[in-house]
Structure 1
Amino acid sequence: MDTGIALGQLGDATAAEPLIAEALRAEPTTNLRGRAFHSFWLARTQLQRRQVELACATATEALDLAAVIESPRVVAHLQEFRHLLKPYRANASVATLADRITRAAS
């Protein structure tokens, strides 16, 4: 997981995405916090690869988990993600997700 996240942060989304996806698959379903973070990082990597619809769907999963575990840290990461979505704001999925993130943060 850490390698995938580090690669994503360094801009190597192609190498990062499968590593983060595997870490998410391996995460126990009972570890909601871990699943929320993995989902966020996977969404961020998917967005780096311009997979906008997929990134929105994955970020929605992270947002749903953040609501269940009441994690301000995940929500803060998603607020950052919302800013990364700005170039795609005309996309309906992006607009819906951005609105949900805004409401979760308030």
Structure 2
Amino acid sequence: MPMAGDGRTILLSQDVWNSSRLRQTYPCLYSFAKKEDCSLAEYLGNQNLEENFHSPLSPEALEEYLELCNFVNLIQHDGRGKDKWIYVWGNDNFSST
């Protein structure tokens, strides 16, 4: 699971958050994504709908977008330092360069 520092090396839709990828959690929404490999830092830097997703969204995708916004608001990040990952198979963690 990623732990955000500056968010530059964490991929919002591709990395595993709470045992699943957001791409799998919100499949309708991510069918509208403008960039598949958007980092957390990029997403937070331009967090409006039109910059990250093609519009208009379907009703299902809009519902998923609102859920994603709630999820992203819960991510704790300090905007500095290195991103880290904690693996489910042990206490070792990896930090980005």
- If the length of structure 1 is used for normalisation, what is the TM-score? 0.31
Greater C-alpha radius of gyration: 2
TM-score with structure 2 setting the length: 0.33
Could you say which structure has the greater relative contact order, defined with CA pairs below 8 angstroms and 6 or more residues apart? 2
User: Which one has a larger percent helix, Structure 1 or Structure 2?
Assistant: 1
Identify the structure with the greater strand proportion. 2
